[in-house]
Structure 1
Amino acid sequence: MSSSIRTLKAGSHAFGKALLPAALAFALSPLSVHATTTAWASTGSHAALLITQSAAPATAGAPAVAATHYTLNVRGKPQVQELVTPLENTKKLQVAVSLNLRNADQLQAFIKSVNTPGNPAYGKFLTPAQFKATYSPTDAQVQAVVAHLQQSGFSNVTVSPNNTLVFADGNPATVATAFNTTMKTYTHGGKQRFGNDGDVMVPQALSGIVGSVMGLQNVSQKHTLSHLGAEVSTQATAGTQASGGSTVTHPPTDFPGIYDAGSTPTAFNTTVGIITWGDMSQTQSDLAVMTSAAAMSPVNVKVVPVTLGSAVDFSDDPDSDTEWNLDSQSITGTSGGVKQLIFYAAANGKGGPADEELTDAGITAAYNQAVVDDVAKVINVSLGEDETGSNQTGTQQADDAVFAQAAAQGQTFSVASGDQGVYIATGGDFETNAGVVLPSPFSLSSYSVSEPATSPNVIAVGGTEVSTNGTAWAGEVAWNDGIADAGDGNNRIWATGGGKSLFESAPAWQQTALGATTRSVPDISYDASTFTGAQIFIGGKRYGVGGTSLASPIFVGVFARIQTYANNSIGFPASFMYRDFPSNPAVLHDVTSGNNGVSYQGTTYGYNAATGWDYTTGYGSPDISKFNALAYTWGDHTPPTTAPPPPAPVVLKDGVAVTTQGPAGSSQQFTLVVPAGTATLTFRTSGGSGDVTVYVQRNSAASASSNIAMSAHPNTNTESVTMRTPAAGTYYVTVTSPSVFTGVSVEGLY
Structure 2
Amino acid sequence: MPRSSNSQHSSARLSFRLLTAAVGATALVATGGAAHAAPARTTTIAGTLPRWLPSGTAARLALRSAPVDTPQSVRVYLAPRGGLSALQAAVAGVSTPGSPTYGHYLDGAQYAASFGPTEAAATTVSNYLASAGLHVDSVEASRRYVAATGTRQQLQRAFGVTLASFTHDGADVVAPTTAASLPTDVAADVMTISGLDTSVQRMTSQRIAETGGTTAADTTANRTAAAASAAGVAQPVVAPPAASVVGRPCSQFYGGLQAKYQADYKTPLPAFHGQTPSYALCGYTAPQLFNGLGGDTGTSGGGVTVGVVDAYNSSTIVADTNTYSSAYGWPTLARNQYSTWSAGKFTDQEACDASGWTGEQTLDVQAVHAMRPAARIRYYAASNCAGGLIDALAAVVDENRADVVTNSWGGLETDTGADDVFAYEQIFLQGALQGQTFLFSSGDNGDEIASTGTKQVDYPTSDPYVTSVGGTSTGLGNGVRNVVAETGWGTGVYALNDKGTDWVDGGFLYGAGGGYSTLFPRPAWQAGTVPNTAPTGRAVPDISSVADPQTGMLVGQTQTFPDGVRYGEYRIGGTSLASPLAAGAIAEAVQRKGKRAGLANPALYSIARGAYTDVQASTVKGVVRANYVNGLDPSGGTSYTVRTWGRDSTLGLAKGWDPVTGLGRPGATFARTLASTLGK
In the other structure, the counterpart of 1:722 is none
CA contact (8 A) 1:386 1:449 kept: yes
Please state if 1:454 is matched with 2:438. no
Deviation at 1:126, TM superposition (A): 1.0
Q: Aligned in 2, Cα 1:208/1:619: closer, same or farther, shift over 3 Å? A: same
Instruction: Write the distance in 1 (CA, Å) between the matches of 2:287 and 2:67.
Output: 51
Instruction: Write the distance in 2 (CA, Å) between the matches of 1:208 and 1:492.
Output: 49
Q: Aligned in 2, Cα 1:325/1:513: closer, same or farther, shift over 3 Å? A: same
Q: Which amino acid aligns with 2:391?
A: A
Instruction: Write the distance in 1 (CA, Å) between the matches of 2:487 and 2:205.
Output: 23
In the other structure, the counterpart of 1:333 is 370
Q: Which amino acid aligns with 1:574?
A: N
Q: Deviations over 1:626-674 (max 9, x none)?
A: 112212212358xxxxxxxxxxxxxxxxxxxxxxxxxxxxxxxxxxxxx
Which structure carries more helix by proportion?
Answer: 2
Deviation at 1:518, TM superposition (A): 2.6
Instruction: Write the distance in 1 (CA, Å) between the matches of 2:478 and 2:251.
Output: 9
In the other structure, the counterpart of 2:294 is 260
Q: Aligned in 2, Cα 1:563/1:403: closer, same or farther, shift over 3 Å? A: same
In the other structure, the counterpart of 2:390 is 364
**1:295-314 alignment runs, 5 A limit:** 295-298=330-333, 300-306=337-343, 313=347
Q: Aligned in 2, Cα 1:199/1:283: closer, same or farther, shift over 3 Å? A: farther
Deviation at 1:263, TM superposition (A): 4.7
In the other structure, the counterpart of 1:383 is 409
Q: Aligned in 2, Cα 1:560/1:610: closer, same or farther, shift over 3 Å? A: same
Deviation at 1:527, TM superposition (A): 0.8
Q: Which amino acid aligns with 1:522?
A: P
In the other structure, the counterpart of 2:240 is none
Deviation at 1:160, TM superposition (A): 3.2
Which of the two has higher C-alpha Rg? 1
Please state if 1:527 is matched with 2:546. yes
In the other structure, the counterpart of 1:496 is 512
Report the 3-state secondary structure (helix = DSSP H, G, I; strand = E; otherwise coil) of the residue aligned with 1:531.
Answer: helix
Instruction: Write the distance in 1 (CA, Å) between the matches of 2:147 and 2:318.
Output: 29
Match of 1:228 among 209, 212, 221: 209
Deviation at 1:504, TM superposition (A): 0.9
Match of 2:442 among 410, 417, 436: 417
**1:52-67 alignment runs, 5 A limit:** none
Q: Deviations over 1:248-291 (max 9, x none)?
A: 12123421111122355111211111222223424445334333
Deviation at 1:470, TM superposition (A): 3.0
Instruction: Write the distance in 2 (CA, Å) between the matches of 1:530 and 1:476.
Output: 13
In the other structure, the counterpart of 2:357 is 320
Q: Aligned in 2, Cα 1:120/1:589: closer, same or farther, shift over 3 Å? A: closer
Instruction: Write the distance in 2 (CA, Å) between the matches of 1:514 and 1:240.
Output: 32
Match of 1:342 among 355, 365, 378: 378
The worse-fitting range, judged by mean Cα deviation, of 203-212 and 231-240 is 231-240
Deviation at 1:199, TM superposition (A): 3.8
In the other structure, the counterpart of 1:634 is 677
CA contact (8 A) 1:49 1:196 kept: no
Q: Which amino acid aligns with 2:658?
A: D
**What RMSD in Å do the two structures reach over aligned CA positions?**
3.6
CA contact (8 A) 1:384 1:453 kept: yes
Instruction: Write the distance in 1 (CA, Å) between the matches of 2:206 and 2:542.
Output: 17
In the other structure, the counterpart of 1:481 is 491
In the other structure, the counterpart of 2:595 is 568
Report the 3-state secondary structure (helix = DSSP H, G, I; strand = E; otherwise coil) of the residue aligned with 2:209.
Answer: strand
Which structure carries more strand by proportion?
Answer: 1
**1:47-126 alignment runs, 5 A limit:** 47=50, 50=53, 68-70=59-61, 93-101=72-80, 102-116=82-96, 119-126=99-106
Q: Deviations over 1:139-165 (max 9, x none)?
A: 222222222333445446323343323
Q: Deviations over 1:78-103 (max 9, x none)?
A: xxxxx776666797655433333334
The worse-fitting range, judged by mean Cα deviation, of 160-169 and 178-187 is 178-187
Q: Deviations over 1:416-455 (max 9, x none)?
A: 11111111xx6x42xxxxxxxxxxx73xxx4201111111
Q: Which amino acid aligns with 2:50?
A: A
Instruction: Write the distance in 2 (CA, Å) between the matches of 1:268 and 1:395.
Output: 35
CA contact (8 A) 1:533 1:545 kept: yes
Give the gaps of 5 or more residues in structure 1: 1-23, 55-66, 71-82, 349-357, 430-440, 596-602, 638-750
Report the 3-state secondary structure (helix = DSSP H, G, I; strand = E; otherwise coil) of the residue aligned with 1:227.
Answer: coil
Please state if 1:559 is matched with 2:540. no
Deviation at 1:113, TM superposition (A): 2.7
The worse-fitting range, judged by mean Cα deviation, of 88-97 and 203-212 is 88-97
In the other structure, the counterpart of 2:308 is 274
CA contact (8 A) 2:436 2:596 kept: no
Q: Deviations over 1:581-619 (max 9, x none)?
A: 33xx2x222112289xxxxxxx99622101111111111
CA contact (8 A) 1:53 1:69 kept: yes
Q: Aligned in 2, Cα 1:330/1:200: closer, same or farther, shift over 3 Å? A: farther
Give the gaps of 5 or more residues in structure 2: 1-23, 212-243, 258-276, 496-505, 560-566, 622-646
In the other structure, the counterpart of 1:164 is 144
Q: Aligned in 2, Cα 1:48/1:533: closer, same or farther, shift over 3 Å? A: same
Deviation at 1:396, TM superposition (A): 1.7
Instruction: Write the distance in 2 (CA, Å) between the matches of 1:282 and 1:200.
Output: 46
Report the 3-state secondary structure (helix = DSSP H, G, I; strand = E; otherwise coil) of the residue aligned with 2:302.
Answer: strand
Q: Aligned in 2, Cα 1:337/1:176: closer, same or farther, shift over 3 Å? A: farther
Instruction: Write the distance in 1 (CA, Å) between the matches of 2:121 and 2:518.
Output: 31
Instruction: Write the distance in 2 (CA, Å) between the matches of 1:483 and 1:95.
Output: 46
CA contact (8 A) 2:542 2:661 kept: yes
Q: What is the identity percentage for the equivalent residue pairs of Structure 1 and Structure 2?
A: 24
Match of 1:201 among 162, 170, 180: 180
Match of 2:663 among 600, 614, 619: 619
Q: Aligned in 2, Cα 1:296/1:229: closer, same or farther, shift over 3 Å? A: farther
CA contact (8 A) 1:51 1:68 kept: no
Q: Deviations over 1:551-579 (max 9, x none)?
A: 10111122222212221343322111111
Match of 1:510 among 526, 534, 537: 526
Report the 3-state secondary structure (helix = DSSP H, G, I; strand = E; otherwise coil) of the residue aligned with 1:269.
Answer: coil
CA contact (8 A) 1:275 1:367 kept: yes
Please state if 1:536 is matched with 2:563. no
Match of 1:41 among 32, 44, 69: 44
Deviation at 1:37, TM superposition (A): 2.7
In the superposition, the TM-score normalised over structure 2's length comes to: 0.70
In the other structure, the counterpart of 2:400 is 374
Q: Which amino acid aligns with 2:444?
A: D
Q: How many residue pairs were aligned?
A: 534
Q: Which amino acid aligns with 1:37?
A: A
Instruction: Write the distance in 2 (CA, Å) between the matches of 1:48 and 1:465.
Output: 36
In the other structure, the counterpart of 1:590 is 614
Q: Aligned in 2, Cα 1:118/1:462: closer, same or farther, shift over 3 Å? A: closer
Instruction: Write the distance in 2 (CA, Å) between the matches of 1:604 and 1:251.
Output: 26
**1:630-709 alignment runs, 5 A limit:** 630-636=673-679
Q: Which amino acid aligns with 1:495?
A: G
Q: Aligned in 2, Cα 1:221/1:130: closer, same or farther, shift over 3 Å? A: same
Q: Which amino acid aligns with 2:530?
A: L
Report the 3-state secondary structure (helix = DSSP H, G, I; strand = E; otherwise coil) of the residue aligned with 1:273.
Answer: strand
Instruction: Write the distance in 2 (CA, Å) between the matches of 1:365 and 1:195.
Output: 23
Deviation at 1:112, TM superposition (A): 3.1
Match of 2:252 among 227, 238, 255: 238
Q: Aligned in 2, Cα 1:97/1:323: closer, same or farther, shift over 3 Å? A: farther
CA contact (8 A) 2:45 2:192 kept: no
Instruction: Write the distance in 1 (CA, Å) between the matches of 2:544 and 2:395.
Output: 27
Instruction: Write the distance in 1 (CA, Å) between the matches of 2:247 and 2:476.
Output: 20
Q: Aligned in 2, Cα 1:494/1:535: closer, same or farther, shift over 3 Å? A: same
CA contact (8 A) 1:42 1:201 kept: yes
